[in-house]
Structure formats: C-alpha cells, structure tokens
C-alpha cells in the first residue's frame, strides 16, 4: 500500500497501521519488469523501436502479430492483494499465465523472491509450481471423478504426500473455506460457489506463498459472487497470501484489492489503491471505468476528522460549558491524561447534574458512544451517523483520541465531486 493519498488527511498521525506500509520497506515478492507477450510468427519484431508508437491494432494489421502484453511492469509486496483489471482481451489472463510460464513471455523479467522465473529450468519450474504458487481458475478446474476431499488434496498427492497426512491438511483447508461435511461429495452435487471453494481449498492446501486467481468468481451468479469476494477478503486477512487477482469487475477489485492495476490493450494504464483509482483516475478511460462506484466506499473517515472540545474528567462543569460556548458546540469529548478516549459530554447532560455530584464532569461522561478507527470507510460511517445526532469519535489502535467525524463534514465530502 502506498501512503500517498489524494485527499490528504487533516493530520498525519504517524501511525503505520493507519498510513499503510510503504512499498519500499519490503522487498517485493513478485517483480515484473518490462514484460512483453506477442502472439504470432517471429514475435520479437513487435518490440523493434520503429513500431514503438504504433497501436496494437496497427501492429496486428501490418505485421499479423497480437501484442497481448506491452512493456508491463509492477511489483507485488508479500501479503498484498494485487488486482489486475481490464476489459475482455486486455491481456489479464496472458499476464497470469506468463507469471507461472504456462505461456512463455516474449521479453522481460519475472522476479519472484529474487529469482527470475523466466530463467528456470524444467525441474525448477515444476518445483515452483508445486510449492510456491497456486492458481485458481474461472471454470474451477476440478477433477470430476474425484470427491471433494481428493480434489482438495490433489496438489499434495502430486507432491507425493501420504494419504493420512494429505487428508488431514485437506480437511483443514476445506473447513477454512466453509466446506466442512462435504468431503465425500462429488462435483455434480456441488453448486458453482461450492465448486469454486473446492478450487480455492486445493490451491491453499499446498500452502503456496503466492495465489493467482483468474476471474475466479465470474462464473457465479451475482449474489454468490459478492458473498465469495467478501469471504475471500476475510480469509485473506487470516492467511496473508500474496494474491494476484484478475477481474473485469471494479466493484470486486475494490473489495479485495490493496492495489489495482488497470489494463487496456496489453498496457497497464494506472496502478493505485482503490482510493487513488476512484478519486484520481489517470485518464478518461479509467474514469469511465470508475463511474458508478460511490466514493464513500473508498474514502476513509480520517479525511473528515475535526477537533472538537476536549476535556479531562476533572474539568469543572462551568469550564466545560464555557469551552462549549466558545466553540459553539453542544458536546465535548472526555479524554484521560494519556489522551485515551472516555466518552462524550452533552450540553443537556451538564444541566442534569445531581445535587450529590461534584463540580467535575467526571460522572457526566457518557461512554456509550462507540469510537471507530481512522480507516473506517465513509460508507460504514454513514450507517453510524444516520443512527445518532452526535458525531463519531475516532481513535487509534491504542484508543488514543484523534478527533471526530461530523454529519456536516461527511455530507460536504459526499456532495463534492472529489
Ligand atoms: N494463444 C493465443 N494466440 C493468439 N492470440 C492470443 C492467444 N491468447 C490470447 N491472445 C490474444 O491476446 C489478447 C489478450 O488475451 P487475454 O486472454 O489475455 O485477455 P483477457 O484480458 O484475459 O480477456 P478476458 O477478460 O476475456 O478473459 C487478446 O487479444 C487475445 O485474442
Ligand atoms: Mg482472461
């Protein structure tokens, strides 16, 4: 994830969990450098300098070559979900197939954990495909004569693992993808969504560090598809694989992706976080793609935080009221002496003081107003704000108070175009 954001947060909290890891800190797990794939006779011809400015269509017409990938470069960090998105024919499948050399790239390098996959001999390539990387296909790719358990255990069987051990692992991963109890079922007894879960279980069973998924959910009906993508996002938080996920659906890309690469005609036009892509599209093509995706899905609450009146529990009621008056506010936030969030004090609450209460606001702090983290999306915040008159308190992972998100600021950003 990059730290750069289009809508700069009001404050930099210096919290890595909030600002995201910097790309440079980790050596990339996958590094693709100037990758070309040209289909046709003597494909290298398409790389010659004199054709540099020619479009894919021109090259196809003049030279009878299909440029499926054109000078494609990107890095994927360990544990990152990298989405490749583009229309049909833009080169997405060609790209993932080149990554595991199901097809040979015409030029360029594919560095995985520091080793160039394009240099691997047959033995090394086999080992690479069996242990380091697994692929999940659109059409599930299950073996029809094997039951669910054997399908899930297939990659381990190929590796020569004993039955007992591979079944034990297969059961574990089937459980992970929600197929507990289906071990003995056959493919024809399973819905599309379940078949794809088996495909995913089979890929996970070999415990690869890299998972390649080529439109894994596109054969499923929309409801199941949405469910699967949400489950994948949750599962990924647990398993933390390096994921290259292909889709032509931006909604899907945004749900699962840490970063998204947008491809057109074999070229990557833009790489960015969902927020960067939506709020700052590189060109008209990307903008058109992103239309219809509400910005509230990708913009986080950290962008609308303001500072309210804050008081400590020992503050006097009079002082608190005076501070609210001065700020023109009907509430104040109570924090302790380490700036941890305690709750909210409403103006009405100040007048409800009992005779027995001391002069401090201590007992008037209402802790039922639940705070959220800065990376909460505006979509999620909308839900909370629509149920309450008070703003949403925002805290960091240590419960240190950062600020509040108000109805006013939320509406302002939703009304604005960017
Ligand atoms: N074996 C091949 N021979 C010739 N051309 C090919 C071959 N495979 C793919 N192509 C061409 O390469 C281009 C990219 O195809 P690719 O399958 O990678 O696209 P895609 O983005 O995966 O599309 P889809 O969303 O439809 O799956 C297309 O123009 C396709 O016709
Ligand atoms: Mg494809």
**Residue 3 domain-assigned?**
no
Nearest atom (ligand 1) to Cα of 87: 25
Strand order in the sheet with 341-346: 310-311, 331-335, 341-346
What would the pLDDT profile of 180-214 be if each residue is shown by its tens digit? 999 999 988 988 889 989 999 999 999 999 999 99
What CA–CA distance (Å, rounded) separates 292 from 23? 29
Residue 354 pLDDT? 62
Final residue of a structural domain among 295, 320, 338: 295
> Residue 241 phi/psi, 5° resolution?
-80, 160
What CA–CA distance (Å, rounded) separates 75 from 113? 11
**Residue 388 domain-assigned?**
yes
Give the confidence band of 349 by pLDDT, cuts at 50, 70, 90.
confident
Instruction: Using CB atoms within 10 Å of the CB of residue 52, give its burial: 0 to 12 exposed, 13 to 18 middle, 19+ buried.
Output: exposed
**Residue 355 domain-assigned?**
yes
| Atom 26 of ligand 1, nearest CA residue | 88
Q: Do residue 355 and residue 229 come from a single domain?
A: no
**Residue 88 domain-assigned?**
yes
The total domain count for the chain is 2
Final residue of a structural domain among 261, 276, 295: 295
What would the pLDDT profile of 361-381 be if each residue is shown by its tens digit? 888 899 888 999 999 989 888
Final residue of a structural domain among 246, 265, 295: 295
248 lines ligand 1 (CB under 6 A): yes
**Residue 2 domain-assigned?**
no
What would the pLDDT profile of 265-277 be if each residue is shown by its tens digit? 999 999 999 989 9
Q: Average pLDDT for residues 43-63, to the nearest whole number?
A: 92
Residue 401 pLDDT? 97
Q: Do residue 151 and residue 20 come from a single domain?
A: yes
Residue 151 pLDDT? 95
Q: Do residue 22 and residue 128 come from a single domain?
A: yes
CATH number at residue 353: 3.10.580.10
pLDDT reading at 13 higher than 50: no
pLDDT reading at 24 higher than 60: no
Bridge partners of residue 67, in order along the sequence? 38
Instruction: Using CB atoms within 10 Å of the CB of residue 261, give its burial: 0 to 12 exposed, 13 to 18 middle, 19+ buried.
Output: buried
Residue 123 pLDDT? 95
Q: Do residue 105 and residue 126 come from a single domain?
A: yes
**Residue 1 domain-assigned?**
no
Q: Average pLDDT for residues 12-31, to the nearest whole number?
A: 55
**At a CB cut-off of 8 Å and minimum separation 6, what does 318 contact?**
359
| Atom 4 of ligand 1, nearest CA residue | 39
Range of the domain at 283: 16-295
Give the confidence band of 18 by pLDDT, cuts at 50, 70, 90.
very low
> Residue 349 phi/psi, 5° resolution?
-60, -35
Give the confidence band of 414 by pLDDT, cuts at 50, 70, 90.
confident
| Atom 25 of ligand 1, nearest CA residue | 88
Q: Do residue 265 and residue 327 come from a single domain?
A: no
Q: Do residue 82 and residue 223 come from a single domain?
A: yes
- The chain-wide mean pLDDT, for the chain, equals 88
Residue 25 pLDDT? 56
């Amino acid at each position: 994830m990059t730290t750069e954001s289009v809508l700069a947060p009001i404050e930099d909290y210096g919290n890595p969990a909030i600002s995201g890891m910097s790309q440079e800190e980790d050596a990339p797990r996958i590094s693709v450098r100037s990758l070309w794939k040209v289909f046709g006779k003597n494909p290298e011809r398409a790389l010659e300098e004199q054709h540099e400015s020619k479009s894919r269509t021109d090259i196809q017409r003049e030279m009878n070559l299909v440029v499926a990938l054109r000078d494609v470069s990107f890095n994927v960090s360990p544990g990152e979900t990298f989405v490749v998105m583009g229309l049909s024919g833009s080169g997405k499948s060609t790209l993932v197939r080149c990554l595991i050399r199901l097809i040979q790239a015409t030029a360029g390098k594919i560095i995985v954990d520091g080793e160039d996959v394009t240099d691997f001999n047959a033995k090394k390539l086999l080992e690479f495909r069996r242990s380091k990387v697994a692929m999940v296909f659109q059409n599930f790719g299950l073996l029809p004569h094997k039951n669910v358990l054997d399908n899930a255990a297939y990659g381990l069987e190929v590796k020569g693992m004993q039955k007992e051990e591979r079944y034990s692992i297969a059961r574990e991963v089937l459980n992970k993808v929600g197929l507990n109890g289906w071990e003995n079922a056959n493919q024809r007894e399973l819905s599309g969504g379940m078949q794809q879960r088996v495909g995913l279980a089979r890929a996970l069973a070999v415990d690869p560090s890299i998972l390649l998924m080529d439109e894994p959910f596109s054969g499923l009906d929309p409801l199941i598809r949405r469910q699967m993508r949400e489950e994948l996002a949750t599962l990924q938080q647990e398993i933390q694989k390096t994921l290259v996920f292909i889709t032509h659906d931006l909604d899907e890309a945004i749900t699962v992706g840490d970063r998204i690469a947008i491809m057109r005609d074999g070229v990557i036009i833009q790489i960015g976080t969902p927020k960067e892509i939506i709020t700052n599209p590189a060109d008209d093509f990307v903008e058109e793609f992103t239309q219809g995706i509400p910005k509230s899905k990708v913009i986080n609450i950290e962008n609308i935080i303001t500072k309210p009146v804050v008081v400590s529990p020992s503050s006097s009621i009079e002082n608190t009221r005076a501070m609210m008056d001065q700020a023109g506010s009907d509430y104040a936030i109570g924090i302790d002496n380490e700036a941890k969030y305690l709750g909210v004090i409403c103006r009405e609450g100040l007048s409800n003081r009992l005779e027995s209460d001391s002069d401090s606001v201590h007992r008037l702090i209402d802790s039922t107003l639940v705070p959220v983290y800065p990376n909460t999306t505006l979509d999620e915040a909308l839900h909370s704000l629509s149920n309450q008159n008070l703003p949403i308190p925002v805290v960091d992972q240590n419960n240190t108070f950062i600020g509040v998100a108000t109805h006013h600021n939320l509406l302002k950003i939703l009304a604005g175009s960017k």
